[in-house]
Amino acid sequence: MVAYSNTLTQVVALHEALERRIGAQIIQVASSPAAVDDSRRPRSLHQRLTPVEIEALVAAYRAGVRQPVLAERYGIGLTSVKKLVRQTREPR
């Protein structure tokens, strides 16, 4: 208990240190020319892949290519591959 007997002082010091650190980062990021990053990939799956790429992905899956391989090949997540395959599945 001796190590933790001065917790209020330690918490206050930690809080002040974090405020200084976060404040410095906010100023640095706000003044940085790269503060707005427009080079991010679009989040929508249909914006990341063209209809031709989606058709090719589904055709490859139907030809027996495993889903993890397709995810890596097209640079998307495994869940996205599963979603595309499920969307193009013919109703029974």
71 and 49 housed in the same domain: yes
50 and 80 housed in the same domain: yes
Q: Tell me, what's the pLDDT at 85?
A: 93
Is it the case that residue 92 has pLDDT exceeding 70?
no
Q: Which residues contact 50 (CB under 8 A, 6 or more apart)?
A: none
3-state DSSP of 50-80: CHHHHHHHHHHHHCCCCHHHHHHHHCCCHHH
Q: Which residues contact 68 (CB under 8 A, 6 or more apart)?
A: 78
- Provide mean pLDDT across the span 81-90: 89
Q: Which residues contact 77 (CB under 8 A, 6 or more apart)?
A: 71
* Residue 37, in any domain of the structure: no
* Residue 65, in any domain of the structure: yes
CA 57 → CA 17, 79, 85, distances in Å?
Answer: 50, 14, 8
Q: Tell me, what's the pLDDT at 43?
A: 73
pLDDT per position as a tens digit, 62-82: 999 999 999 999 999 999 999
Q: Which domain holds residue 7?
A: 2-31
27 and 49 housed in the same domain: no
* Residue 79, in any domain of the structure: yes
Of 1-5, 26-30, 56-60, 72-76, the poorest mean pLDDT is in 26-30
78 and 54 housed in the same domain: yes
pLDDT per position as a tens digit, 24-39: 554 544 555 554 555 6
Number of domains in the chain: 2
| Terminal-to-terminal C-alpha distance of the chain | 67
Q: Tell me, what's the pLDDT at 13?
A: 78
* Residue 7, in any domain of the structure: yes
Mean of per-residue pLDDT scores for the chain:
77
* Residue 11, in any domain of the structure: yes
* Residue 63, in any domain of the structure: yes
Look-up: residue for tokens 């640095």? 28
